[in-house]
Structure 1
Amino acid sequence: MALEIEVCVDTLEAALVAEANGATRIELCGRLDLDGTTPDEAFIQAALTQLQIPIHVMIRPRGGDFVYSEAEFAEMEQAIDRCKARGVPGVVLGALTESGTLDLTHILTLAARAKPEMLVVVHKCIDFTPDPAAAFDQLLEHADLIDYVLTSGGKPTAKEGLPVLQYMINQGRDRIKVMAAGKITKDNLNELSDALGAPAYHGRLIV
């Protein structure tokens, strides 16, 4: 089965280059210097119009931590609604509680808002939880709402997070796809793919 290769970008030019170089999907972001925020409407529309491959849109109201106010969650809901109205194929979201665990209540509310029209990716907020493997098991109970989890296994790089990534991949089979991330480049993709066998891989320099 062909690998899913997702490139995260914050400009249309970068998206077009990634597509030309073999990306199979684009994660569309604003402000990659802040690790990705919700892109503006014009960028989303231009990507939908000019790219031939699917896009997933980051839903993140600001940089910094993943503990959001109710006003920020309302902003995220509105962004999801706008993506759905435009026919965006998928959205990328996540949130943590004050104690650092997954904010499942809000994650599932946002995911349900995206469904059934859009795929839902829970992003690397999971890597900031005390136990990413346990957090993944929590998400598996809601595989009807979550399609992918983007993770480096709780470590700075996918290579360092290999044992946890392997656990997640084995647990998630046929339920939630693991999208491996964390300093994955075109130079180490094949090596990591051989070691992991994940269905999907994500990075800025992956193609």
Structure 2
Amino acid sequence: MKKDQLEIACFNLQSAIIAQENGADRVELCANMNEGGTTPDFEITEAARKELKIKLNVMIRPRGGDFVYSDAEFEQMKTEIQQFKKLNLDGFVFGILDKDGNVNKEQNSELVALAHPVPCTFHRAFDVVANVYESLESIIECGFKTILTSGQEKNVVEGIDVLAELVRKADNRITIMPGGGLRSSNIGLLKEKTNAIFYHSSAIVDPGETANGEEVKAMKSRL
């Protein structure tokens, strides 16, 4: 039976290499940890693609803050997807809302189509949507393959009941990937309660922005 999968959010090339060396299944590369992640530098992404044998997803997010974007920012996201696509990536990570806190189906669908055949993950913009279960259906309709979420709480443990319900309602139509405060100390509980098959963590346990190899290994061993 296939073991559950672990994705490590990496904010530098060193973290991506640490993630691979310690058993992660996929890297999500982004910049600006303090902003919750933004589009990474193209050259760093290119270097990561050369170093990594495991899967590499890249965040497409022009800035921190909310998830309602101007026309110029939306054009920037389209341009970045087209540029990064040349690097033979395994996935894109983004999410756009409208001013009422609903999933912007038109813009998200356009980006998913532009990324095709590269699969897309709807990121933690999901944690501030107005209606969590309606939004689940909207995101499936847009063509996303995965939703990264803490269950609309500040961490996965507090959001565990919503995460379990999302997995149930998704019913294998889309992957629900718990992320946000996920660590080796709680990943077993999440696995037991949610039945998710993919998990997301930065594995950062020390000051700074670099993943901890032992933490990656410990999380992977509990899946």
Q: TM-score, normalised by structure 2?
A: 0.88
Deviations 1:104-125 (A, max 9, x none): 1111111111011x11000010
The aligned residue for residue 53 of structure 1 is 54
The aligned residue for residue 156 of structure 2 is 158
CA distance in 2 between counterparts of 1:149 and 1:45 reads: 25
Deviation at 1:178, TM superposition (A): 0.5
Which amino acid is 1:101 matched to? N
Matched, 1:132 2:132: yes
The aligned residue for residue 172 of structure 1 is 170
CA distance in 1 between counterparts of 2:77 and 2:49 reads: 20
Deviation at 1:26, TM superposition (A): 0.4
Q: TM-score, normalised by structure 1?
A: 0.94
Moved >4 Å (runs of 4+): none
CA distance in 1 between counterparts of 2:32 and 2:176 reads: 24
The aligned residue for residue 9 of structure 2 is 8
Deviations 1:60-85 (A, max 9, x none): 00111111001101100011111212
Tell me the secondary structure at the aligned position of residue 86 of structure 1: coil
Equivalences for 1:79-118 in 2 at 5 Å?
79-116=80-117, 118=118
CA distance in 2 between counterparts of 1:174 and 1:108 reads: 20
What is the root-mean-square deviation of aligned Cα atoms in Å?
Answer: 1.2
Q: Which of 201, 204, 216 is the matching residue for 1:203?
A: 201
* 8 Å contact kept, 2:4–2:197: yes
CA distance in 1 between counterparts of 2:7 and 2:171 reads: 19
Tell me the secondary structure at the aligned position of residue 8 of structure 2: strand
Which amino acid is 1:148 matched to? T
CA distance in 2 between counterparts of 1:161 and 1:168 reads: 11
**Structure 2 portions without partners, runs of 5+:** 204-214, 217-223
CA distance in 2 between counterparts of 1:29 and 1:200 reads: 19
The aligned residue for residue 182 of structure 1 is 180
Deviation at 1:141, TM superposition (A): 3.0
Deviation at 1:23, TM superposition (A): 1.0
CA distance in 2 between counterparts of 1:53 and 1:173 reads: 27
**Structure 1 portions without partners, runs of 5+:** none
* 8 Å contact kept, 2:103–2:139: no
* 8 Å contact kept, 2:69–2:96: yes
* 8 Å contact kept, 2:157–2:186: no
* 8 Å contact kept, 1:133–1:167: no
* Number of aligned residue pairs: 204
CA distance in 1 between counterparts of 2:45 and 2:6 reads: 20
Matched, 1:141 2:160: no
Deviations 1:1-21 (A, max 9, x none): 311101101100011111112
* 8 Å contact kept, 1:133–1:164: no
